[in-house]
Structure 1
Amino acid sequence: MNPRYNPFAPGAGIPPPELAGRDDIIERATISLHRIAAGRAARSVVLYGLRGVGKTVLLHKLTDLAEAEGYLSVVIEAPEYRSLPAMLGPALRTALIKMSKLNQAKAVMVASLSQAKSALAGFIKAAKLRFDDVEVNIDFDFEEGLADSGDFESDLTDLIVTVGESAKHHKKPIVLVIDELQYVPEEQLSALIAALHRASQKQLPITLLGAGLPQLLGQMGKAKSYAERLFEFVSIDALDNESAKQAIQIPLEHESTQITDDAIDEIIAQTKGYPYFIQEWGKHVWDLAESSPIQKKDALNATDVALSELDDSFFRVRFDRLTPAEKHYMRAMAELGEGPHRSGDISELLGKGASTVAPIRARLILKGMIYSPSHGDTAFTVPLFDGFMKRIMPEF
């Protein structure tokens, strides 16, 4: 069929044509946003789940909804090996400039906004001495003694509270949107939690929408024991069968195209209901089908093409970051199946002691390739990665 009208859109963070099965999650998050904007108590929202479940898409959706409600958004993607101040500084600067322009339009000069700018300037000045990667140039005057002590947790708390007070004064709530939150180092994550905790205690209209891999829960709990009471942790998983069917069928119906039930069942069986993979299979099944209705044979053909493309991109880009020892560890996991697996079983298959392979496991967790769903267990963070490891390394 004509690829120009293909409704499916595989890609990192690209909204699918039908955001199926996520209405309850969106409602829970928007309730928190509305309560915080109104000065009522509510927990910040943190989404967690495997790669390909649509966390980033949901973050974008919730950010759009927050902005439509009058929030100023501060959007960050936390890459590996970058400090929180290096990411937060420029984003907060942009938000404060936007707030300044709103005030100029109203011909209003407000002391709280000036203080927020001073806090940011002092915070960045102190952070440059502490973190090597902070290169933010702040053209605001700083007030000595405000967010510039050099103690990161204290300074970040001063900054978040001061910005939150300005947001309250201007009736312009702020949402910090941080994706890949699991890459924020523990000390900095601890400081962020403490700062948000203080802002929450003061019922200031500043909140967090975060997303990360499953290990994020343990990381945040380790960073601050009260994290589970401060945040609403929302698990994002594969779609159930009915939602997965809607994600396939509704976009096709919008293009006046039908698909047989057995073709849908085949796509769901291959993708296991993971939203990103549904988009991949949907794209290829459309391109391969000659006409409507799309048949099961089209879905079977799409599997070969989709896996080949995933192997060359989605899977391969992660595989290429691994050392030979890390690849061998993950190949052993694949040999045992989809998982999760006992860490002892993996080390036994490798013919090494658990303590010998523990550093490899720790590095893979740090890289976001695996996680521990429960004590002593190990699982892939990327769905279908066990099959890829067997294809890329046929012999174990």
Structure 2
Amino acid sequence: MDPLYNPFSPGAGSRPPELAGRENIVNDARIALARTIRGNNSQSQILLGLRGTGKTVLLNEIESIAENEGYITSFVEAPENRSLAEILYPQMRQILRKLSVLENARVAANVALSGLRNFASVFKIAVGDVEISAEPTPGSADSGDLEFDLTQMFELIGKAAKSANRGWALLIDEVQYLKDEELAAIIVSVHRVNQRNLPVIVVAAGLPQIAKLSGDAKSYSERLFDFPGVGALDRTAAIEAIRNPLIKEDIEIDDDALDLIIEMTAGYPFFIQEWGHNIWNSADSSPITLEDAQKASEKALARLDSGFFRVRMDRLTNAEIDYVNAMALLGTGPYKTTDVASQLGKDQSSLGPRRASIISKGMIYSPNYGDVDFTVPLFDDFLRRRLQQ
């Protein structure tokens, strides 16, 4: 079939043609956004899930909803090697510049821009060639304490947005890369704007350990945030994600071909897109058959092994590769850290730094005390295929 009309999109964060199985998450976000901009308290959200589950897609979808509700939005990805202050500064500046041209918000926005200038100064943020025109105001976001100063900035932006009958929606991807004190600063800032009924909402996404880390950072985080899980699609949603885009192109697919795709992808949205993309390109005509699905599986696995999986493997040292190989040889996770140590013939305590390093690289996480598992679905299968070569 003509690849020009292939409806599937296996890219990072690319919106699939059918956003199946996520209706509850999207609807909850829509309600929270609508309530917050109207001055009614609602929980911010942190989407939790493994890689390939479509968290970034959902953040993009929620951003679009926020814009339709009257929010000015900021989308950032928490980096591994830059500070939160550094990545938020240009976003906050952009928000305030947009608000400063609105008559009702001009005064409040200029007050906030003054605070932002202090914020940039105390956190030594390079502002490039363009200077903020507002004069600094002593005592405004200039303590050098991120938790205090970021809270002040959220409050100042919230007041400016409220003056314009607008809202600010901050969307943060890969939130697990925030340092503990940065995550705490976000939580305290959300707490303060909630107390003041200001139209500011945070929607973040990250790996499953973030719920625990949020609780460790601030004990009241579970009251401020909803933590919806973003996992594999159930069978009904997976079928919709595969079949509906094909129907729109007047293409049918046999049930046994569908069954094979669902089995191979385990219902994970990224892999469904990968298999869908390859099955379209493998098939000559409608209906798509089991033989087409088998050919597509070979191509999909080859692409994933040389790209998606291999890129992640290349981030690990040889010792770290030994550790994840030992996990994979134990079968399907989660894995007891004691079992991994036994597999390696090592003392568990000696493996702590190695395990911590792999966790910091976002390759594994601890779903429960004493357990580890992969953050990338089907990565254990990849490792076992690699070991058999």
TM-score, normalised relative to structure 1: 0.95
Q: Are the aligned partners of 2:100 and 2:107 in contact in 1 as well (CA < 8 Å)?
A: no
Alignment of 1:344-359 (within 5 A): 344-359=338-353
What is the one-letter code of the residue matched to 1:124?
A
Corresponding residue number in structure 1 for 2:60: 60
Offset, 1:202: 0.9
RMSD, aligned CA = 1.2
Equivalent-residue separation in structure 1 for 2:325 and 2:105 (angstroms): 62
Counterpart pick for 2:331 among 328, 332, 337: 337
Corresponding residue number in structure 1 for 2:284: 290
> C-alpha offsets along residues 138-177 of structure 1, whole Å, 9 cap, x if unaligned?
4243211100011121111111111111111111100011
What is the one-letter code of the residue matched to 1:310?
L
Corresponding residue number in structure 1 for 2:117: 121
What is the one-letter code of the residue matched to 2:227?
F
Corresponding residue number in structure 2 for 1:2: 2
* 2:158 matches 1:167: no
More off after superposition, 54-63 vs 364-373: 364-373
Offset, 1:109: 6.7
Corresponding residue number in structure 1 for 2:19: 19
Counterpart pick for 2:138 among 139, 144, 150: 144
Equivalent-residue separation in structure 1 for 2:126 and 2:385 (angstroms): 43
Q: Are the aligned partners of 2:363 and 2:376 in contact in 1 as well (CA < 8 Å)?
A: yes
Q: Are the aligned partners of 1:86 and 1:136 in contact in 2 as well (CA < 8 Å)?
A: no
> C-alpha offsets along residues 60-111 of structure 1, whole Å, 9 cap, x if unaligned?
000001001110001101111211011000111111111223x1xx5x5732
Equivalent-residue separation in structure 2 for 1:95 and 1:394 (angstroms): 53
Which consecutive unaligned segments of at least 5 residues does structure 1 have? 129-133
What is the one-letter code of the residue matched to 1:139?
I
Equivalent-residue separation in structure 1 for 2:81 and 2:388 (angstroms): 33
Offset, 1:120: 1.1
* 2:33 matches 1:40: no
Offset, 1:365: 1.1
Alignment of 1:1-396 (within 5 A): 1-101=1-101, 103=102, 106=103, 110-128=106-124, 134-137=125-128, 138-140=131-133, 141-394=135-388
What is the one-letter code of the residue matched to 1:309?
R
> C-alpha offsets along residues 171-224 of structure 1, whole Å, 9 cap, x if unaligned?
110001100000011011111111111111111111101000111112111111
Q: Are the aligned partners of 2:99 and 2:106 in contact in 1 as well (CA < 8 Å)?
A: no
Give the secondary structure class of the aligned counterpart of 1:234. coil
Decide whether aligned partners of structure 1 residues 109 and 239 sit closer, same or farther in structure 2, where only a CA change above 3 A counts.
closer
> C-alpha offsets along residues 307-331 of structure 1, whole Å, 9 cap, x if unaligned?
1101111111111111111111000
What is the one-letter code of the residue matched to 1:57?
V
Give the secondary structure class of the aligned counterpart of 1:110. helix
> C-alpha offsets along residues 291-316 of structure 1, whole Å, 9 cap, x if unaligned?
10000111111111101101111111
Offset, 1:346: 0.4
More off after superposition, 213-222 vs 243-252: 213-222
Equivalent-residue separation in structure 2 for 1:135 and 1:319 (angstroms): 34
Q: Are the aligned partners of 2:99 and 2:105 in contact in 1 as well (CA < 8 Å)?
A: no
Q: Are the aligned partners of 1:45 and 1:231 in contact in 2 as well (CA < 8 Å)?
A: yes
Equivalent-residue separation in structure 2 for 1:394 and 1:203 (angstroms): 58
Decide whether aligned partners of structure 1 residues 97 and 110 sit closer, same or farther in structure 2, where only a CA change above 3 A counts.
closer
> Identity across aligned pairs (percent)?
48
Number of matched pairs: 386
Equivalent-residue separation in structure 1 for 2:106 and 2:52 (angstroms): 44
Q: Are the aligned partners of 2:366 and 2:372 in contact in 1 as well (CA < 8 Å)?
A: yes
What is the one-letter code of the residue matched to 1:144?
P
Offset, 1:338: 2.0
What is the one-letter code of the residue matched to 1:198?
R
More off after superposition, 256-265 vs 118-127: 118-127
Give the secondary structure class of the aligned counterpart of 1:146. coil
Give the secondary structure class of the aligned counterpart of 1:76. strand
Q: Are the aligned partners of 1:338 and 1:384 in contact in 2 as well (CA < 8 Å)?
A: no
Which consecutive unaligned segments of at least 5 residues does structure 2 have? none
Q: Are the aligned partners of 2:238 and 2:267 in contact in 1 as well (CA < 8 Å)?
A: yes
More off after superposition, 278-287 vs 195-204: 195-204
Q: Are the aligned partners of 2:43 and 2:226 in contact in 1 as well (CA < 8 Å)?
A: yes
Give the secondary structure class of the aligned counterpart of 2:219. coil
